[in-house]
Structure 1
Amino acid sequence: MRYSKKLTIQLLFAIAGLAILSVFISNLTVNLIRTGMGLNFNWLIQPSGFALSESSLPYKPSDNYLWVLFIGWINSLKVIIAGLILATIFGLIAGIARTSQNILLKKVSSLYVALIRQIPLLLQLMFWYFVVFLSLPESPIPILGSMVIISNQGIIFLGLNLSVEFSSLLIGLSIFSGASIAEVIRGGLNSISKGQWEAFRSLGISENLGMFRIVLPQALPAIIPGLTSQYLNLAKNSTLAIAVGYADLYAVSDTTITQTGRAIEGFIVLLVSFLLLNLIISGGMEVINRLTMKSNYHF
């Protein structure tokens, strides 16, 4: 009886959702017919006619819109993947530091999380772009020997030339997302019973080894769901790249819509592209979650 009631409620919600969706589609169709535009994607094979500030693949203005949108998608994917790696490193360090017995590390990491989470991401991106990078001298400044070289043209890291737009976006996104990831990691570590911490300390195992070999693996099932949400937020926040002039998917789509006047089709392409990005992230994290659950079961 209870199962039947739940099934009925779910069915009603599904019908309501489909009804709302049908109303939106109907209104869209009527408006398109009224304006005489209709849905048309033929513009995708027309020459784009505009240049890109940054391209990971060969591109010239005579290439079609489909190709330039793909390049924008690749640019987005590039900064998102790099951002996920850096943000995870920042978040892991800060999250572990917040559970540390070292008072100084705990205070510094708490200040980082509190400060960064209170400042809007857009302001942070503009800070890194206008205040930090564009204020640097033109002459290269070596850091860590010759491993990293910075200037107002961007960053050279191990031979890779990162533009000032890409560098500003990457650092801003990583630091901002890292603060939220730190809280997710701290919550996961705090979910582990104190007995686990006391056990490895009583065995004379060092804090670092005990953290990464005993505590952190057990905390991963509690960390990964929240981590997935933060990864998806980072992917969506990357659309603020337009504020620093980075040619990501959103910036390229905005220019494309302006030139072609095909706003609805442009937003459909943008929606499908970001849906694909988010599905890749969610699918990857789901695989990691299953592997983690399996390894913790054997553990």
Structure 2
Amino acid sequence: MARTPSRSASGLRALLRDERFWQIALQVILVVVVGAVFSYLFGNLTSNMARSGIAFGFGFLKNPASFAVGEDLIGYTAQDSYTKVIQTGIVNSLRLVAAGVITATIVGIAAGVASFSDNWLVHKISRVYVGLVRNVPLLLQLFFWYFAVFLAAPRRENQIVFPSSENAWMVINNNNVNLIGPGLPNEVWVGLMLVALSMLLFGLLWRAMSTFREGRFAAGLSGWISRIGNAALIAGVLVVNYYLLFSNSAEDRLFFKGGVLALFTNPAGLWIVALVVMAIAFFVLWRLRLKAMMDAGQDGKPFLIGMIVLAIAAVAIVIFAFNWTPPTVTEGGGVTGGMEISTRYAAALTGLTFYTGAFIAEIVRAGIQSVSRGQWEAARSVGLSNGQAMQLVVFPQSLRVIIPPLNSEFANLAKNSSLAFAVGYPDLYSVANTTFNQTGRPIEVFLVMMATYLTLNLLISLNMNQLNNAVQFKER
């Protein structure tokens, strides 16, 4: 009489044949192996540091830094701690990255669209710019802009004034560049950057909350792990955003006023809040007008009038409420008023802008070429000019091809900003380099740098991926 297998043996065989079990098991094994490797490496590191009489830790960040920083927006002095000087470097890096993303996108889109221009000269300038800049290393370009352009500018006694001394819009000397600009205090500029960073984090929060709302979880153990991970992510983002937006004390090791407090406690900041509210209202009116035109066949004129009123009010606020002042040339070559930026910052921003813009131009050109020729012909058949066809028909369709590689270029710009130290700009890498040279703590300092750049790039990637999903064609 044949023996029948036991129920436990049959259950084990069924479990081993289950593909879902192996998917989870392999992931658990991988996590254990990676954890064991990092545990071994960290133990080896701490033992080597102990033999040298050094204990791993970040307590040294409380000590006075004792070195000056050429540019800062949070009131750093040489008597402050290493924590504050590193935060100064982070703010300086964010200032460079944020401006670089905006200017590189503008230059890249302009050069990419210009490559399709019917004007021979415009087309050739675009092609020469892209071919030249893309094939020269960024570090050499930064040296060029700093030493050959900005540092080679005349001294203050013979500075360049455009268009005239009586009506100056821009003043350039070998120390600073003064432009017509808003008279916003440093606190408001930092607050704007913190709010922008918080919005990137809100993108992460929105994705996690959408996952819960739509119930996009796998069955079994992996689904519960995903639920716990998303819940922890939501809690972490809320805590971080609280400190970024509402911090008001140096006791929490954040030496700046939170973004919301900085904006709501300053008159110029209140006008910026008003602009944000108006932008949200404009977007709502635009959506309502689009819905009225598509669903009800109406012209949407009341919504259009509201949008025009909001646009006029926003322009008036920008012009009259931000205390725009031109640079004023004084006797002896001095300059007062306007928005002053150092030649170091100007060289770093210019180099990053034109270098990244050249790659963005090729991405834009490829995206436009991906739109079929029939779309051009259809646009012309209804009487649209080349410019109108590009703006209303072709370019919106090309975004689904443009945005994915644009994600990589923005991330590259954030990482390439660390080269700004080569021209003397005190970004995160520059102040961190001085910090570990003085403290002899390269491991801890490099961990802070790696965490900062990793977080920034992950936030850029996440939000660009969400934007990419929004512009993709939706199948019905």
Shared fold, TM over 0.5: yes
Q: Does 1:217 align with 2:412?
A: no
Q: C-alpha separation between the residues in 2 aligned to 1:10 and 1:87?
A: 43
Q: Please tell me the residue identity of whatever aligns with 2:175.
A: Q
**What is aligned with 1:146?**
168
Q: 1:152 aligns to what SS in structure 2?
A: coil
The correspondence of residues 1-299 of structure 1 with structure 2, limited to 5 A, is 7=23, 11=27, 17-18=34-35, 20-138=37-155, 139-143=158-162, 146-158=168-180, 159-293=338-472, 297=474
Q: 1:147 aligns to what SS in structure 2?
A: strand
Deviations 1:52-92 (CA, angstroms, capped at 9, x unpaired): 11111211111111011101100000011111111111110
Structure whose CA Rg is larger: 2
**What is aligned with 2:266?**
none
Give 1:191 deviation, angstroms.
1.1
Q: C-alpha separation between the residues in 2 aligned to 1:240 and 1:122?
A: 7
**What is aligned with 2:270?**
none
Q: What are the ranges of 5 or more consecutive residues in structure 2 without an aligned counterpart?
A: 1-16, 181-337
Q: C-alpha separation between the residues in 2 aligned to 1:182 and 1:20?
A: 43
Q: 1:83 aligns to what SS in structure 2?
A: helix
Q: Please tell me the residue identity of whatever aligns with 1:213.
A: L
CA root-mean-square deviation: 2.5
Contact 1:77 1:277 in 2 (8 A): no
Give 1:5 deviation, angstroms.
11
Q: 1:142 aligns to what SS in structure 2?
A: strand
Give 1:280 deviation, angstroms.
3.1
Q: C-alpha separation between the residues in 2 aligned to 1:174 and 1:13?
A: 41
Q: C-alpha separation between the residues in 1 aligned to 2:30 and 2:115?
A: 42
Q: C-alpha separation between the residues in 2 aligned to 1:43 and 1:198?
A: 66
Q: C-alpha separation between the residues in 2 aligned to 1:209 and 1:15?
A: 57
Deviations 1:242-270 (CA, angstroms, capped at 9, x unpaired): 11100100000000001111111111111
Q: What are the ranges of 5 or more consecutive residues in structure 1 without an aligned counterpart?
A: none
Q: C-alpha separation between the residues in 1 aligned to 2:82 and 2:161?
A: 39
Q: Percent identity?
A: 42
State TM-score, norm by structure 1.
0.90
Q: C-alpha separation between the residues in 2 aligned to 1:35 and 1:195?
A: 71
State TM-score, norm by structure 2.
0.58
Distance 1:211 1:9, change over 3 A: farther
Q: C-alpha separation between the residues in 2 aligned to 1:232 and 1:43?
A: 31
Q: Please tell me the residue identity of whatever aligns with 2:449.
A: L
Q: Please tell me the residue identity of whatever aligns with 2:354.
A: I
Give 1:16 deviation, angstroms.
5.9
Give 1:236 deviation, angstroms.
0.6
Q: Please tell me the residue identity of whatever aligns with 1:152.
A: N
Distance 1:10 1:221, change over 3 A: farther
